[in-house]
Each structure stands twice: as structure tokens, then as C-alpha cells.
Structure 1
Amino acid sequence: MAAADMTYMPGTASLIDDIDKKHLVVLRDGRTLIGYLRSIDQFVNLVLDQTLERIHVGQKYGDITRGVFIVRGENVVLLGEIDLDKESASPLKQVTVEEILEQQRLEQEIKNKAERLKIQGFKERGLMIPHRDPLDEY
């Protein structure tokens, strides 16, 4: 057995080396958090420090400061360390929080309108759409 294999730790214990490093966390509800991992337990409950909530719309993004953020492990879809050297090489354009929230609102309105038209079309044809829980997509 190689020396590297001897240091392997299964499960969340393998994240001990990631403490105090910058991470990106994607949650079940679609939100993206970026912050420094300060603590983790056996359930993958996370404590993030200096946390930002990053909102993406098209080729733009905006960051909302959230500070210390506690994430329940069952809500984590993806957890990954951010390469600080490559972080600023993103093709996305950063905009103000107000601008990205407005873009997000407009995008959601377009989606809602399309969904209403779809439902109306089904109703006109005598079809019913079962209720969908938005979390089913994750």
C-alpha cells in the first residue's frame, strides 16, 4: 500500500484538510454560496465565514454579503474548493447587487409567464398538469 493511501480518511473526515480554505457551495434550492469553511461535522453541516451569496443571470453575477452562514448538510448539493489563482479569470461580468436582483426578477417573470401560457394551453386542451414541487428538480 502506498504512503498516500495510508492517509486517506473516509467520509466527511476527508474534509478536515479543507478547513480555512475558500469553498463554493451549491444548495438544493439553487443558491450558490462562497465562503471560508470553518467547521464541518459528520452530517456535512457546514459553517462558512465571510460568506457571499452569488447570483448568476446570463453572463453577469452579483454578490450579496451574508457573513457567517450555517448550512444544514442535507441541503448541500455540491461543495468544492475554489482555486484562488483562477478565481479572477472568470468570463462573467460582476454587477451591483441591485442590478443583478433586477435581472433575476425579470428572468423569473419571463419564466412565470411561459409557465402560465403552458398551463393555459393544457387547460384549453382539457389536460391537467400535476402540481410540481420546485425542489423536485434538485
Structure 2
Amino acid sequence: MDRHFNLPTGTATLLEEVDKKLMVLLRDGRTLIGILRSVDQFANLVLHKTIERIHVGKEYGDIERGVFIVRGENVVLIGEIDREKEARQPLTRVSVDDILVAQQREQESKQEHEKLVAKALKERGLNYVPDLTHDDMF
């Protein structure tokens, strides 16, 4: 008999991923990489040896987070990390300080672009409603 028979389908498949290294994409856009230690019926996760990976262009930086509890409703995507492919990634690792500065610059650039788009549309008589979902991407 299937020991996961009373759990929702998605949660039951997560049980097979316990003790594996996973990448978790959150609704706010953050990317976490850690070892899945526990999962419940609501897909709440406990990750161990967790890092938060920040990508900007062809560079990335990792911020150590340790044990991380993720509420299931904030998870957009979960995937197992292939350690061989991770070692061959075409990205350059930089320090946390450098990647945070690059991330700030990228965010400022996006905001400036949004302002230019809003101005151009307004000049053409179009009503522009700015994207208010930046805090909740999905």
C-alpha cells in the first residue's frame, strides 16, 4: 500500500526529495538552494545549509542563510540540483558585496526604465498603471 495515500499529490512527491539538494524559487523572486529536511501537507519546507543565490547578468553571489523555513504558499518552483551541471555553470562567482551592488544598480535601472515608459505613454495620451506586483512577482 502507498504510504502517501492521504496526502495531496504535489506534497507526496516532495517527500521523495527529502535529503536532496534543491533549488526553490519564491514568489518575491528570491532563489534559495539547500538540502530539503522536512515537508508537511501544506508544502511548508525546512531547508538545511541554505544559501540565497543572487544572479545579475553572468555573475552570481551566495549569501549563507543556514536553516531556512519556507511557507508553502510562497513557493513558485522547486527543482533538484544536478551537482555536475552546477559545477559547469557559465556564471562567474563574485563576492556578496559586489553582487548586492550590481543588484541595486539593476533595480535602479529597471525603475528608471519604468519612469521613461510611463512618461512616453503619458505624452501620447495613454493611461499608464505602473506594475504594483514587484513585491509579489507571481
Contact 2:29–2:137 (8 Å) recurs in 1? no
In structure 1, what residue type is equivalent to 2:81?
A: I
Structure 1 counterpart of 2:86, one-letter code: E
Amino acid at match of 1:47: V
Aligned-partner Cα distance in 1 for 2:56–2:67: 25
- In structure 1, what is the equivalent of residue 32 of structure 2? 33
Q: Residue by residue, what CA displacement relative to the aligned partner does 1:37-71 show, whole Å, maximum 9, x if unpaired?
A: 01101111111111100000010000011111111
Please identify runs of 4+ aligned residues in structure 1 that moved more than 6 A. Answer: none
Tell me if the contact between 1:8 and 1:14 (Cα under 8 Å) persists in the aligned partners: no
State the secondary structure of the residue aligned to 2:87: helix
For residues 47 and 86 of structure 2, what CA distance do their matches in structure 1 show?
18
Instruction: Find the counterpart in structure 1 of residue 51 from structure 2.
Output: 52
Please show how residues 1-138 of structure 1 align to structure 2 within 5 Å.
10-134=9-133, 137-138=137-138
The range that moved more, 105-114 or 31-40, is 105-114
Structure 1 residue 122, shift from structure 2 partner = 1.8
Measured in 2, the distance between the counterparts of 1:83 and 1:97 equals 23
Give the deviation of 1:36 after TM superposition: 0.6
Where is the helix percentage greater, Structure 1 or Structure 2? 1
- Normalised to the residue count of structure 2, the TM-score between the two structures is 0.87
> Unpaired segments of 5 or more residues in structure 1?
1-5
Inter-partner Cα distance in structure 2 for 1:40 and 1:117: 44
TM-score with structure 1 setting the length: 0.87
Quote the RMSD (CA, aligned, Å).
1.9
Shift of 1:11: 2.8
